[in-house]
Amino acid sequence: MKILIVNDDGINAEGIKYLVDWAKHIGEVSVFAPKVQQSGKSHSIEIHGGYEVKKVDPFDGVEAYSVDSTPADCVRIATLGFKKKFDLVLSGINCGHNLGGDIRYSGTVGACFEAAKCGIKAIAISACFTSFDNAVKNLDRIWNEIQSRRMLDYTDILNVNIPEKGDEILITKTGEAIYSDDFAFLENDTVMPQLISLYKGTHNLEIDTDATMSGYITISPISVELTNWYALDAIKKNVG
């Protein structure tokens, strides 16, 4: 299996090193990852100018490139630029969970949307801010669960979140957004976003937010489909 590994924390981030080390045991790994931090860049791409793509060697025995652009562009340059073929894209391990409606902003998940657009199955993997230990410990179990239940036969993207402690795996739907922003207005026409939490904790283990916060590993199938099929069908039937 040919595996492309990408992230949004940057090619020198701690989490990607763990993912590369693990993935070498299940396939042939290539890395295309951002040169610098790209969290919150969602599915954005650079279309107005050039950017650096440089071969680097931070991973023993693994072909790797530093890309001075977004996670989605990392997938694009690997597949469209270098014409490489992959069976799977792994994005992560992100430092911090990607949960609920906030995955719309995630560069980690954005890379998976780009992979799916290119016809490649993808898995986004995120851990808590405090430690990667539980994530590293459970990568084999998560992979075995995905394989045994043939999850990627049914969806293009899986979003995986791993708590600081807890080994039980739940299959969940995506919850609501748990973060928003307030803004501080500073001098010189500058505004500073200030993250605020919206999470109330309903302990609903059917959704990724509550289940992960309650100490469960969550796997959520997500889709690139943009059409609102319910609305499309209703509008077509409403002839006026």
For 35-81, what is each residue's pLDDT tens digit?
999 999 999 999 999 999 999 999 999 999 999 999 999 999 999 99
* Window from 63-67, 84-88, 186-190 with minimum mean pLDDT: 186-190
What residue spans define the domains of the chain?
2-172+202-237
Q: Is residue 238 over pLDDT 90?
A: no
CB atoms within 10 A of CB 11: 24
The mean pLDDT of 110-120, rounded to a whole number, is 97
Q: Is residue 239 over pLDDT 80?
A: no
N-term to C-term CA, the chain: 53
Q: Which CATH class is domain 2-172+202-237?
A: alpha beta
Each residue's pLDDT tens digit, 50-62: 999 999 999 999 9
Q: Is residue 6 over pLDDT 80?
A: yes
Q: What percent of the chain has pLDDT over 70?
A: 99
DSSP H helices in 77-228 = 107-117, 133-148, 208-213
Q: Which helix (H) or strand (E) holds 74?
A: helix 71-76
* Window from 14-23, 141-150, 191-200, 212-221 with minimum mean pLDDT: 191-200
- pLDDT the model gives residue 20: 98
Q: Is 88 left (phi over 0), alpha (psi -120 to 50) or beta?
A: beta
The mean pLDDT of 174-202, rounded to a whole number, is 86
Distance in angstroms (rounded) separating the CA atoms of residues 210 and 153:
26
The mean pLDDT of 159-165, rounded to a whole number, is 97
Distance in angstroms (rounded) separating the CA atoms of residues 25 and 114:
25
Omega of the bond leading into 171 within 30 degrees of 0 (cis): no
Distance in angstroms (rounded) separating the CA atoms of residues 91 and 66:
15
CB atoms within 10 A of CB 40: 14
pTM: 0.94
Q: Is residue 240 over pLDDT 80?
A: no
